[in-house]
Amino acid sequence: MSVDLRSDTVTKPTRDMLEAMIASPVGDDVWGDDPTVNALQERCANLFGKEAACFVPSGTMANQLAIRAQTQPGDEIIIHQESHIVRYEAGGAAALSGCSFATTSGDRGFFNSEDVQRLTRDKDAHFGNSRLVSLENTHNRGGGSIWPLEQLASVCETAHSLGLSTHLDGARIWHAIIATGIDAATWAKPFDTISACFSKGLGCPAGSIVVGSKDTIYKVHRFRKQFGGTMRQTGILAGAANYALDHHVDRLADDHRLAKQLAEGLSSIDGITCDIENTETNLIFFDIDPRIGDGPTICRQLSENGVLSEALDPQRIRFVTHLGVSKIQVEEALDILKRLCV
Tell me whether strands 100-104 and 75-80 are parallel, antiparallel or unpaired: parallel
In a domain, 101, yes or no: yes
Q: Are residues 106 and 162 both part of a single domain? A: yes
CATH number at residue 321: 3.90.1150.10
Q: Are residues 259 and 180 both part of a single domain? A: no
Sign for the CA dihedral angle at 268, 110, 145, 1 comes to negative
Q: Are residues 270 and 228 both part of a single domain? A: no
Contact 55, 196 (CB under 8 A): no
Q: Are residues 158 and 295 both part of a single domain? A: no
**How does pLDDT run across 14-66, given as a tens digit for each residue?**
999 999 999 999 999 999 999 999 999 999 999 999 999 999 999 999 999 99
Q: Which of 189, 213, 247 is the last residue of a domain?
A: 247
Residue 92 to residue 172: CA distance in whole angstroms? 20
Q: Which of 247, 263, 298 is the last residue of a domain?
A: 247
pTM of the model: 0.97
Hey, what's the torsion of the CAs at 239, 245, 251, 257, to 10 degrees? 120
Residue 273, burial from CB neighbour count under 10 angstroms (0-12, 13-18, 19+): middle
Q: Which of 195, 230, 247 is the last residue of a domain?
A: 247
pLDDT (tens digit, 0 to 9) for every residue of the chain, 342 residues total? 689 999 999 999 999 999 999 999 999 999 999 999 999 999 999 999 999 999 999 999 999 999 999 999 999 999 999 999 999 999 999 999 999 999 999 999 999 999 999 999 998 899 999 999 999 999 999 999 999 999 999 999 999 999 999 999 999 999 999 999 999 999 999 999 999 999 998 999 999 999 999 999 999 999 999 999 999 999 999 999 999 999 999 999 999 999 999 999 999 999 999 999 999 999 999 999 999 999 999 999 999 999 999 999 999 999 999 999 999 999 999 999 999 997
In a domain, 314, yes or no: yes
Q: Give the structural domain span for 55.
A: 14-247
The structural domain count of the chain equals 2
Contact 16, 25 (CB under 8 A): no
In a domain, 1, yes or no: no
Q: Are residues 202 and 325 both part of a single domain? A: no
Using DSSP's 3-state secondary structure scheme, residue 3 falls into strand
Sign for the CA dihedral angle at 182, 172, 206, 243 comes to negative
> How crowded is residue 268: how many other Cβ atoms within 10 Å of its Cβ?
12
The DSSP call for residue 139 is B
What does 38-107 look like in DSSP terms, one character per residue?
HHHHHHHHHHHT-SEEEEES-HHHHHHHHHHHH--TTEEEEEETT-HHHHSSTTHHHHHH--EEEEE--G
Backbone angles phi, psi at 53, to 5 degrees: -150, 160
